[in-house]
Chain A
Amino acid sequence: MKFIHAADLHLESPFKGLKNDETPNGLWKQIYDSTFKSFERIVNDAIKYDVDFVLLAGDLFDRDNQTPKTYDFFQSQMQKLNEKNINVYMIYGNHDYFDMQRETVSFPDNVHVFGNDVETKTFSINGRKIAITGFSYANKWITDKKIDEYPMKNDVDVQIGMLHGGLEQTGDHYAPFALEDLISKKYDYWALGHIHKRQQLNESPLVFYSGNIQGRHKNEPGNKGYLLVNDESGKMEAKFHATSLIDWLTLDLSMDFVDVESAKNHILQVLMGNKYENMQLISLNLILNNPISDGQRQDLEYRITNVLAKDYEQLNAWIYEINIRLSNDQKMSSIDQDIWDEAQEKVFSEDEISSISKSLRKYDFIARHLDDSKEDLMEQSKMKLLGGKEDTDEN
């Protein structure tokens, strides 16, 4: 028996953190297509490896951002599998929740969607009785321990659990479960969805988050894809296959800043040396020993953008942001550092940040961003002060 476990396709969901004006058009095209392409690769692999079935463990779409194109694409991929007689077992997750009582959607015959209540679908492969148990979200949130509704393995050769949700300790409201809950069901494989980072929770039985299939922002770094699960050796084995077209990467780089041009060259040298195989969207953390001015920072960004706009394909790298910070031994003042430190604590508090950004916080995305950016803002402010002071010194 051979099957694919994939989840969190988030088809057509946008990439976060990229800037419009600077990103080259060709790269945009890749970005727009990336979730589709990645899924297409999964489907093609399903056909290539002649798997028995495909499991899709929820969050196939972003319900808030779905378009006809997405539907059409998904349908056509399902049809492709249908033509090869490959069955698809899918559940809806918190992003593509689907209330079966109020809505209907039709898929090709090979697609088996689990209902809003836990249900088990049973079938045979080469005389072996296979059961798959799962459910689909009807709403955005599920606080119940749905896992309690999953039956024990019973009278089948292989039982697989599909579940979209998070471990209890993460404290969220997405069908929480404990690892022991899963293990206690005596299933042979757990295909989890919801967490975008690929991870194995247990060895026997295998409990896996396959992760999403294409990173969409800096917090979804590295290659992404699906798990090819195989029990032909007599033991259930899961092997990761990367399908993502574009990977996110955070790159820390310490350097002495002498001037903009040499800094740029140094950065490009590093990119060249890394020889990326997949396209990398890079957030560059540049750690400097001495402050540079705003003007220099901008100059550096422009120069790097200009070079990469031409060479990003060759380097397989695009730097979408540069965060410049000072190494830790950089002080605001030799005499008044205690005052600066005291003031810093006061100023870089949530209250203060909120109060300053009050007029901007009506925008959710800004508020969210600012809430996560205390350290960054501090670094930036520091750089501003030190860099700015230097500027005024020279005048």
Chain B
Amino acid sequence: MHFSMSNFGLYEERIKHFDWSVAEKELEYRDGNVLNIGWYCSDRICLKGKGDKKALIYEGFGGINKEYTFNDIRIAGNVIGKFLRDLGIKSEDRVCLFMDRIPELYLSFLGALKIGAIVQPLFSAFGEESLFIRLENAQTRAIITQSKHLSKVRKIRDRLPNLEFIIIVDYATAKKLETREIVFSLDESAPVDNIEIYPAVAESPSVLHYTSGTTGQPKGVKHVHYSIIAQYLTTKWVLDLQDDDIYWCTADPGWVTGTSYGIIGPWSLGITQCILDAGFSAQAWYKFIEKNKITVWYSAPTAIRSLMKAGDEIVREFNLSSLRHLASVGEPLNSEAVIWSIKMFGKPFHDTFWQTETGCIMITNFPGMKVKPGSMGRLFPGITGAVLDPENYEPITEPGKIGLIAFRPGWPSMMRAYWNNEEKYREKFKNGWYLSGDRSSIDNEGYYWFIGRDDDVINTGGHLVSPFEVESALLEHPAVGESAVVAKPDEINMEVVKAFITLKPGFSPGPDLELEIMNFVRKKLSPLAMPQAVEFMDKLPKTRSGKIMRRLLHAKEWGEEIGDISTLEND
């Protein structure tokens, strides 16, 4: 396969006359038209004559393989949409997808959107408390899940009066169905060739992804169907997907990358994509690329660093010559990883920067453009960005000076609200700018250089973890008196969770208690939120007004200057 030119072309040309109408025209969308992502990702591709083209190549653990054409995913979306509609699910009802990366997850996404429901994808490794908080906040009406995750749902359903339907896609007869539980089998359902597609318009809500902040509970980021305009174009220009590509996005659709670029982007372009639903192993990943002749690979720095750790020899055992474009997202991609990928695959990983709230890639290293290893790249055309002075929220014009990464609102996939949380939403805007919460500098060629978060949120393996959420969970453990949670540096995951803990009277610190606390958080929240280190303290550093000085503990972990400690309590 030979590709002479990227979809993107020259940066200077693209930014000169840019308008989002480029994507609208290609998608044959006009202002005011019906715009339904579920239809665009399946029915429209079939109408374009690609119904027989492969849409999904799935491999589960243990050699389970399934393939679906675009016509198959169109019909499957109809089947699921009809099933939900027959239950009484209406437009804007929240339908949670709580599954591993099985085909039903991807197909339910289309089906729920086709009937106008709002899809709420959640990471299947979430523990019951993480699940409860998000379902309660969204007042979710139905959850689609697997037998293996049913016990978590059963533990919390009585506290969720709005959750009317618990739909199990792989029901095993050994288990007795309980209240509100319904069985659904895609394989055993009769095909549905046509259903009435919900006439969503640009501003109709589509997807609700949850993200964590420093304080308060996780926030539901509301997106709308018009987001497809930006997701389509960024997929085409940044990931450079072309008609005969075989694409692999390693992200889980429980997170925004897995929906924006693991479903909407590739399928709105009619691209074949591969899914590997198995745990990480370097050998399995390389084998998957070789077997499926993957050409475009979108992954994450944590995975890339894990592959680096597995060594160079194993790379040489596989024929990976099909790869032609590599990209990365989730956290800053260190220059060593870029240089390593050039050495091993003959091409660099292209870093991309964006967030749950932005819905699409905002800053990136474009195909064909000079990659500066360690840099996030340049702004996507149509995005107005800057780094702001944290004192007055005015753009910094001096190259190399650090400020807050901010964007002018108005791009198609920008979040429209935090679900039921207007106050938090407003806090994200200052002086007419959307504040990303990240800091960087910009060099004299317009390349952004990531510095770090502007708050206490922990970025572990590309996922944001709220210290507040972990501290709240810790306090529910019978031995924990007080806790403070900070990021700890980590070679593979960039940051991991560390907990400082004081114990209640009658409890003694020790390795067994440390393990018990780790597992307590893992099961309650998720493996990502589990403290990978616990330090027991006699007392936590506090201000004179009694507030825990998390900053001091963070500085200790990172070997940084402690700074002003004039407010530190001293007794």
Judge: A and B partners, yes or no: no
Contact surface of B with A, Cβ cutoff 8 Å: none
